[in-house]
């Protein structure tokens, strides 16, 4: 996702619910990387969407994945769970640890 005026990736606002920590969430970067750059300690292991160590729940916002089906059930996806190690933001979001 890019802005039309300068073709730079859109940068959204992220918020970690538990602490109120804010972070910049570029559309072309995985959420985990964005949180890490902001100094947010978020658990991660495989970084490819299979181990589920990084699972979180989106309270607001949506994400997209580079892989067709990340390691989440239909119910988890419906309930807003996401895997930040492989998720890219589609807009501003609020996330909490699962």
For the chain, give every domain's residue range: 18-97
**Average predicted confidence (pLDDT) for the chain:** 92
Rounded-to-integer distance, Cα 73 and Cα 79, Å: 10
18-97 falls under which CATH superfamily?
Beta-grasp domain (3.10.20.30)
**Cα 42-98-17 angle, rounded to 5 deg:** 70
- What distances in angstroms separate CA 72 from CA 4, 5, 23, one per listed residue? 33, 36, 24
- Whether residue 92 is predicted with pLDDT greater than 90 in this model: the reply is yes
CA dihedral 58, 60, 64, 68 (to 10 degrees): 50
- Whether residue 3 is predicted with pLDDT greater than 60 in this model: the reply is no
């Amino acid at each position: 996702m890019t802005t039309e005026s300068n073709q730079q990736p859109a940068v959204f606002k992220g918020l970690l619910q538990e602490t109120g920590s804010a972070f910049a969430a570029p559309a072309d970067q995985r959420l985990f990387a964005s949180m890490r750059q902001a100094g947010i300690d978020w658990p991660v292991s495989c970084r490819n969407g299979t181990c589920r160590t990084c699972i979180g729940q989106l309270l607001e916002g949506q994400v997209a994945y580079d892989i067709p089906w990340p390691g989440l059930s239909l119910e988890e996806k419906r309930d807003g769970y996401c895997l930040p190690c492989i998720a890219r933001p589609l807009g501003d979001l609020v996330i909490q640890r699962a």
